Amino acid sequence: MGSSSELGTCANIFRVLFVIFNILFIILGIIGFSIGVWQVVAADGSYDFITGSDTVSGAAISIVVNIFVIAIGAVGVLGALFKWRPLLLIYAIVWTILILLGIIGAIISFYYSDNVSAAAEESYRDGWTRAINDYNMTEGATDSVDAFQKTFECCGIDNSSNWVDLRPDYFRNNSFRLPPSCQCSTGENCQSFNIQFQGVDYPQTAYNRGCYQVTVDFFQAYSFISGVVAIIFAIIETFGVFVAIGLICCITSARKKEIV
C-alpha cells in the first residue's frame, strides 16, 4: 500500500481533507439515523391528518437513507486512509449517481413548490375532514389538529364555520365554542366574529383563516426548502467526487513510480 509520504504533500493534504469531509458525513448520517429510530420508537400510531400516510414509513426511509450515507462515508474514509483505489472508485461512482438523483429530486421539489397536484389537494382536504370528524374522539386526531391550528394560527378547513358544519355535536357540547386551539386573544390572524348555529349567533374570538390553504402553503415551502438543500448537498458531494478522483490519480501515479 505504501506510506503516506509517497503521495506528496499536496495529495496528503487533500487526503486529510477528504477524510474529515467523510467523517462529517458519517456524523450527519448517524444523527439522521438516530432521529429516524427515535421517530419509530416514539410513534404511537397517531393520526396523520394531512396525508393519511404512516409517519413510521417516512422514518423508516430516513433510517435506510442514513445507513447508506454512513456506509458510503465509511467507504470513502477507508479508501483514503489505506489508498485503496477500488473503494475510492466505488465512492466516486455512487456519489455521482446520488448527485444526479439529487438534482432530479431538486427539480421535482422546485416544481411542487409552485404547483400542488389535484390529488394532493384532495388528500389534504380529505385528511382535514377526517381529522375534524375524529376530533375529541381519538387522541391522535385531537393532538394533531390542536398542534397544527395553534402553530399555524388557523381554524377549520376553509374557515371556522367548518367546525359547526362538520361537528355540530362538538360545538354544542363545548358550550357553543370553537376548539381551544382555534381561540386567540391577539395577533394578525385573530378576529372577533359571530358564528350562527341553529338560528342563533354565538360570539367567537378565533383565527380567521382556514387550515387547508395553510397546509398547501406549508408543503409548497417545504418542497422549496427540500430543493435548496438537495442542490447544496449536490455541490458538496461534487467536491467529494473530484477529491476522490484526484486521490485515485495521485495513488495511481505514486504506484507507477514505485514500479519504475
What pLDDT does 124 receive? Answer: 81
Instruction: Indicate the pLDDT class of residue 5, thresholds 50, 70 and 90.
Output: very low
Q: What is the Cα–Cα distance from 128 to 39, expressed in whole angstroms?
A: 23
Considering the chain, what is the average pLDDT of its residues?
Answer: 81
Higher pLDDT, 246 or 259: 246
Q: What is the Cα–Cα distance from 206 to 100, expressed in whole angstroms?
A: 47
The region of weakest confidence among 119-123, 177-181, 235-239 is 119-123
Does the pLDDT at position 47 exceed 70?
A: no
Does the pLDDT at position 205 exceed 90?
A: yes
What pLDDT does 59 receive? Answer: 60
The domain spans of the chain are 4-116+217-259, 118-213
- Among 88, 64, 65, smallest CA distance to 77 is for 88
Mean pLDDT, rounded, for 198-204 = 93
Is there a contact between 102 and 121 (Cβ–Cβ < 8 Å)?
A: no
Beta bridge partners of 207: 190
Does the pLDDT at position 93 exceed 60?
A: yes
Condensed to tens digits (0 to 9), the pLDDT of residues 154-164 reads 999 999 999 99
- Extract long-range pairs of 118-123: CB within 8 Å, 24+ residues apart: 120/219, 121/216, 123/50, 123/51, 123/52
The domain defined by 118-213 folds into: Cd81 Antigen, Extracellular Domain; Chain: A (1.10.1450)
> Both ends of the chain: CA-CA distance in Å?
16
Is 141 exposed, middle or buried, given 0-12, 13-18 or 19+ CB atoms closer than 10 A?
buried
Which are the contacts of 151, defined by CB distance < 8 A and separation ≥ 6? none
Q: Which helix (H) or strand (E) holds 202?
A: strand 200-207
